[in-house]
Every structure is written in structure tokens, then in C-alpha cells.
Structure 1
Amino acid sequence: MANWFITGTSSGLGLALARAALARGDTVVGTVRAQADAQAFAALAPGRAHAMKLDVTDEAAVQVVVRTAQGLVGPLDYVVNNAGRGFTGAIEETSLEDARALFAVNVLGPMAVIKAVLPAMRARRAGHIVNVTSVSGLAAWHGTGLYGATKFALECLGRTLAQEVAPLGIRVTNVAPGGMRTAFAATRLPGAEPVIADYAQTAHVARAVLQDKHGHEPGSPERAAQAILTALDAPEPPLLLLLGEDALHYAEHEFAGLEAQIAQWKDLTLSIAAEPEVAGS
């Protein structure tokens, strides 16, 4: 049986993944923000479900909680960076204060967790780090530039980390979901203020679409959790796992467009080559 450490298990995908792991007999340490959520989580599987309060933006607290989790359940086999929040608004509308706050949660928080768990994983030459990013970390969509930027950053951290730790026996998987039927769009979706009317037909559409689709998103968090377990159990787990038909559609469309641009401008790309050096000069 495996030991899990999952951030953001009060609801949504984090809770669904914790439930799925517990259902197969694993032990899960889940982080929450409220005491009521901690009590509800621990009741899922007394003795195997352990809740710890944590704000991932507090690096010192992350270190303490990770050490406590390791002391409580032993070596951590799977560490899942799931905690995060959303944001909508045009780039021009977004304050640097809001940008710093979102990066603190969505990028620096996962980085703090990664740094906290790696020493023990390196010592064991084992472990698997899972980063829940988003299709927004692969495909840009007006109105979600700041959120997408944090997920692009987490995608890069995960892919680079995979290269750095592969020789040490540690694996990394980035999970990029599309829309799922969680409370994310309703409770964790602040927006930029004040708004600028010129962006009504572009950036402002994103928030309206996300809120209109709330409760009708195409993805099931429970099925997503099962898909993650299947991927992580594979002999060669993926570096990137897209989840959902919408995620697949947007990612394929984005990559096809970039590939076309690269091909169209290939000659100009290659035109900057320096002149060959002349022997003896």
C-alpha cells in the first residue's frame, strides 16, 4: 500500500483523488485550510486519512507539515501538488499585487512542497511527484492570461524537474485537466478590477463562460481521479496527462497552430545563422 501527500483536499479533484486512493487501501495525508474540513477528511478512513492544515504560501509551514507527515505515515510515495486557485481578467486590468498573490499559490506553493519532499525521495531513490496544472498551462485563452501563466510556469517546473530527478529514481507527472464539475469556478475565481470596457468581447468573455458552465463542465473529478491512479500505476507513467475531451481539443488546436507558425516562418528563423568561420583567420 502506498503513502500519499495531497495538497488541497477539502473539495474538488484533490478530495476525489484522496477518496480513490483511500478506497484501494492506501494512506493519505491531505492538506486543508479549515478545521471543519480536517475533521471531515479524517473521517473518510480513520487511521489512514490524515488531515493537516496548511497554507502552501507559507514555506516554513510546508517544511513542518511535510516532516510531520513523514513521521506519521513513513516515506511518501506520491506527492500531489493540487492546491491552487483561479483568476480571470485582461492582462491590462490585472494588478501586479494580484499577479504576485496568484503566483505565490499556484507556483511558489508547489515549489515549496517539491523542495520539502525531495531530500527524502533522493535518499530513497524513489518517489513520484504529481503536479496538477491545467490545459490553460498549454493553451492560451483571452481572459485567463494570469492563471494560464502560473500553469505554464508549473508545467515548465514539472518537466524540468523530471529531467533533473530521473537519474535518481524519482518520477514526475504533470496532470492537465480541462473543465471539471467542482466548486472551482464558483468559489475560487476572483477577477481583475476595475474592468476596462474595451475588453468586453475578449477577456471578459472567459469569466462569463466559466460561470455559465459551472455545474455543467464536461469532466468528472471522480473519473479524473481514477484516470490519475491508472496513469501512475503504469510501468512508464506519462510526463503529461491530459484529462477531458475539452483539454484534448484545446491542446491539439494550440499545438497545431504553433506548428503551423513554426513551419511558415522557418526560413526566416534559419536566416540569422552566423557566417562560417574561416580556417586560419
Structure 2
Amino acid sequence: MTPSKALAKSWFVTGVSSGLGRAIAEAALARGDTVVGTLRKPDQFAAFEALAPGRAHAIALDVTESAVVPGAVDKAVALTGGLDVIVNNAGYGLVGAVEELTEAEAGRQMDTNFFGVFRVVKAAIPHLKSRGGGSIINIGSVASARGFPSMGMYSASKFAVAGLSQALSKELAPFNIRVTVVEPGGFRTNFGSGSMGWAANPLPDYARTTAYMRESMERPKAPAQNDPARGALVILALADMDTPPVHMALGADGRKYVKDAIRARLADYDQHVELAESTAYPD
């Protein structure tokens, strides 16, 4: 894919307090772009805006507050004069076997990771259309290729983001709005400790798998191989492309995991083919 000529862009990035979201904002600001970053804690505003006074704008937003999201996007448009790139990064992981989770816990996971994306996208689309196009980049997960045990709702939320992104890419193509879902591998961020939730009522049957997941998240045996700053440069490249892919796995590990998961899924579809295709009306 050939990148288009990179002009100064205006970004709206959710969840810029740390991790990949912060790295994306810093990379965009470093090349002279303008970034409106969302944060949930007002005491974080000054440090973010100090990254590039006049071009780094912090606004308060919790993406689960449906009544607030449209106003936040409108405010971002007013601050920048128009948005070019929307990055849906805000989210968290929920650890717990499906049997362990309450409906409220599952609902919060979907409300943040999926409906948060839906709300921001829905609010941003009219602005992008009026501007003549733009980019929507949704941060998914390798979990969207195959569900992780003990992270069923997290996997479900990212499956949903991938499906939404696929549909949006087709719906918005006539308006020159490009959509990509990015599926990262392991990055050296605080996601495994600072962006995790845990089932409130764990069951003994799942103690071993939950303990393994906690250990791998909080105290990995080896540091993740991917650099958030380098990952952010990939996001900038996607935003500059005239024809970006709908899916991109970040990192060699992420790409391998996704491709392995797709091969396993195709192998499933190739089982019991006669049975699966036995549903047609007889001639």
C-alpha cells in the first residue's frame, strides 16, 4: 500500500494516559500534528497538554457515558477546526471464566471495549463526511482472532470491534473514510497490570487457569518484544495511506498468532464438509 503525502492532521485519540494511546499521541505531536486526547482524570490534563502547547488538547471523557460522547467529539472539532483521524484506543481486559462472571461485569466489558467504540464512531462519522473523508483506526486485539480462556468477554468485545470495523469499511468507503482494526501482539505497556479487571467471584474450578493468566499478565517471564513508540509509527503510517488494510496485526508475534488462529479456524471449517453442506433442498 502506497502512503499518501503526509500533511498535518488533527487526531482524536481515546485513552491517552499511557500505553499505546499515549505513544500514538506523542508520535503524532512529534511530527507537527494536532491531537485531542481523552483522559478520565483531570489531574492528567496539564502533563498531556505540555507535550505540545497549542497542539495537544486534553478533554475529559469516559466512553461508557453515552450522553457525553457526542459533545466530546464536537468539542474536539471546535478545538482543531476539523478531525482527520479517529483512534479508538480506550479499553481494558477482564479476566475470568465465563461461568465466573456476573452479567454486570460482562456488560461493563462490552460497554467500554465495544459500545465505547460504537459511540465515538457514530459521533465522528458526520464530521468526517463533512470534511470529505478521513481515517478511523480501532485498536482491537489478537484475541479477536481466537478467544483466550479466562478472557472470554474481552475476546468477545474485540471480536465485535473487528466485525464492526469490517462493516464500517464497506459502509464508509463511498465517503472516502478509511477503516482499519489493529490487532496488537505483546507491547511493553502497563496493560497487563494497570488496565485489567478480575472476576469478583472466582470459582475453584478455574483457579489454575486464572492464576496462570494473572501471572502472565502481571509478571511475564520475558518482556514483551514490541515497542509502543514503534507501534505508534505504524498507526501514523496507516493514517497516511490512501488504501490501508482493514486488518493489521502489530508485531511479528501478533501476526503469527493471528495467522495461526485463522489456519486453525479454516481447518475446523474443512471438517465434516459433507454434513455441513447437507442442508440444501433436494433437487
Output the TM-score relative to the length of structure 1.
0.94
Counterpart amino acid of residue 265 in structure 1: H
Query: Alignment partner of 2:188: what SS?
Result: coil
**Where in structure 2 are the equivalents of 1:1-281 lying within 5 Å?**
1-213=8-220, 216-276=223-283
Q: What's the offset of the Cα at 1:231?
A: 2.6
Q: Is the 8 A contact 2:29 2:35 kept in 1?
A: yes
CA pair 242-185 structure 1, distance change in 2 beyond 3 A: same
Q: Is the 8 A contact 1:143 1:205 kept in 2?
A: no
Q: Is the 8 A contact 1:3 1:76 kept in 2?
A: yes
- RMSD over aligned CA atoms reads 1.4
Counterpart amino acid of residue 272 in structure 1: T
Counterpart amino acid of residue 184 in structure 1: F
Q: Identify which of structures 1 and 2 has the higher relative contact order when contacts are C-alpha pairs closer than 8 Å and 6+ apart.
A: 2
Counterpart amino acid of residue 95 in structure 2: T
Q: What's the offset of the Cα at 1:4?
A: 0.4
Larger Rg belongs to: 1
Mean alpha-carbon deviation: is it higher for 138-147 or for 214-223? 214-223
Q: What's the offset of the Cα at 1:146?
A: 0.9
Query: How far apart, in 1, do the equivalents of 2:25 and 2:272 lie?
Result: 47
Query: How far apart, in 2, do the equivalents of 1:144 and 1:138 lie?
Result: 13
Counterpart amino acid of residue 172 in structure 1: V
Structure 1 spans left out of the alignment, 5+ residues: 277-281
Query: How far apart, in 2, do the equivalents of 1:169 and 1:188 lie?
Result: 34
Partner of residue 3, structure 2: none
Identity of matched residues, %: 42
Query: Alignment partner of 1:200: what SS?
Result: helix
Q: Is the 8 A contact 1:89 1:204 kept in 2?
A: no
CA pair 150-30 structure 1, distance change in 2 beyond 3 A: same
Q: What's the offset of the Cα at 1:204?
A: 4.1
Query: Alignment partner of 1:118: what SS?
Result: helix
Query: How far apart, in 1, do the equivalents of 2:219 and 2:32 lie?
Result: 38
Query: How far apart, in 2, do the equivalents of 1:8 and 1:262 lie?
Result: 38
Counterpart amino acid of residue 18 in structure 1: A
Counterpart amino acid of residue 251 in structure 1: V
